[in-house]
Structure 1
Amino acid sequence: MKAFTLALAMTAGTAAAQDALVDFQVLTPELALRAAVAAMETCRDQGYQVGVTVVDRSGLPQAFVRDRFAGLHVYETSRRKAWTAVSFRTATSDLAASTEAGQISSGIRLLSEALPLGGGLMINEGGGGMVGGIGVSGAPGPELDEICAEAGIAAIADDIAF
């Protein structure tokens, strides 16, 4: 009986240790920068001057680029879009619709960092795990910001398709 109790205690201790830590993937700074530059260049090719922020899965900025004539607001706006995408694990264009006045989630718009405005996307690795987010600001419409964000993700897709 004593051996059984010891074995049971050891098994419980192993399970508790395994539950105490988590593993996750994040983008390297080099990949984050490559995604940001690709998004900016896509917008530039369309005639838009934008800022692009790539955040890690916790919403902390990893890379920011701003085209030479982009507005002053693009750092804050692109960062908040990327933060919102990872925080709520959804594209900010989808969140824009679900947080309109009268919707059950409209209170999200009262949060200081949340920006439910198109142009923010999650970056997922090939298995579906979120590794970061990207936010674009400065194109003449949120749907155009989102197209540029998609191009940024496409630029690193082969590198994160594991």
Structure 2
Amino acid sequence: MIRSSMLAAVLMLAAGGPALAQDDSPYVDFQMLKPEVALEMAQAALEHCRAEGFQVGVAVVDRMGVPQIFLRDRFAGAHVHETAMRKAWTAASFRTDTVTLDQNTRPETVSGGIRHISQALPLGGGVPVESAEGSIVAAIGISGAPTPEADDACARAGIEAIADLIAF
């Protein structure tokens, strides 16, 4: 009886071995959006903004903040490239939407120093894109709508357009 219990314990440890060995791996596994899906999201955000009467720029970065897609509507201002990219980068880098980051990094707050990072732009319109498991797979940034809240709504419309694809 004792021998059976010991054998069962050894087998359980052995079964857990590969999982423990995997934790010691020098590699990290992660997911990112395919460029085709990032493009579909960007196009949906651009169309949503157009329907609202806004001419915008839409940027999508991968989970590391590296640019994947940029779309600019024909009458969007020259500034939209930089601001959309920075909003997307900020959302990916800080793993939060830029509306929330704006509120949490006001100059009088402890985190106000974030505003001095050259690439960071805590201004509404940047939203991280999460998989069904909650892992960030990209971020989208919008610039050119009349308010940060309108930029944010366009970004969220883009994410909603691909929700079925990323709900794995």
- Fold-level match, TM-score > 0.5? yes
The aligned residue for residue 147 of structure 2 is 141
Q: Within 2, Cα distance between the matches of 1:49 and 1:32?
A: 19
Residues 37, 15 of structure 1: alpha-carbon distance in 2 compared, 3 angstrom cutoff: same
Residues 23, 101 of structure 1: alpha-carbon distance in 2 compared, 3 angstrom cutoff: same
The aligned residue for residue 8 of structure 1 is none
The aligned residue for residue 110 of structure 1 is 116
Deviation of 1:15 (Å): 3.0
Deviation of 1:19 (Å): 3.0
Q: What fraction of aligned residue pairs are identical, expressed as a percent?
A: 58
Residues 77, 127 of structure 1: alpha-carbon distance in 2 compared, 3 angstrom cutoff: same
**1:32 counterpart = 2:38:** yes
The aligned residue for residue 150 of structure 1 is 156
Q: Which AA in structure 1 matches 2:158?
A: G
SS, match of residue 25 in structure 2: helix
Q: How large is the Cα RMSD of the aligned pairs?
A: 1.5
Runs of 4+ in 1 over 2 A off after TM superposition: 14-19
Q: Which AA in structure 2 matches 1:61?
A: P
The aligned residue for residue 85 of structure 1 is 91
**1:71 counterpart = 2:77:** yes
- Higher gyration radius (CA): 2
The aligned residue for residue 122 of structure 1 is 128
Q: Within 1, Cα distance between the matches of 2:147 and 2:21?
A: 50
Q: Which AA in structure 2 matches 1:73?
A: H
**1:44 counterpart = 2:47:** no
Q: Within 2, Cα distance between the matches of 1:16 and 1:55?
A: 29
The alignment's TM-score, normalised by the length of structure 2, stands at 0.86
Q: Which AA in structure 1 matches 2:129?
A: I
Size of the aligned set, in residue pairs, is 151
Deviation of 1:16 (Å): 7.6
Q: Within 2, Cα distance between the matches of 1:34 and 1:108?
A: 31
Q: Within 2, Cα distance between the matches of 1:149 and 1:103?
A: 27
The alignment's TM-score, normalised by the length of structure 1, stands at 0.89
Deviation of 1:101 (Å): 1.3
Q: Within 1, Cα distance between the matches of 2:151 and 2:59?
A: 12
Give 5+ residue unaligned stretches, structure 1.
Answer: 1-10
Deviation of 1:17 (Å): 7.6
SS, match of residue 131 in structure 1: strand
Give 5+ residue unaligned stretches, structure 2.
Answer: 1-16
The aligned residue for residue 105 of structure 2 is 99
The CA deviation string for residues 14-62 of structure 1, in whole angstroms up to 9 with x for no partner, is: 8388431110000000000010010011001010000000000000111
Q: Within 2, Cα distance between the matches of 1:53 and 1:91?
A: 14
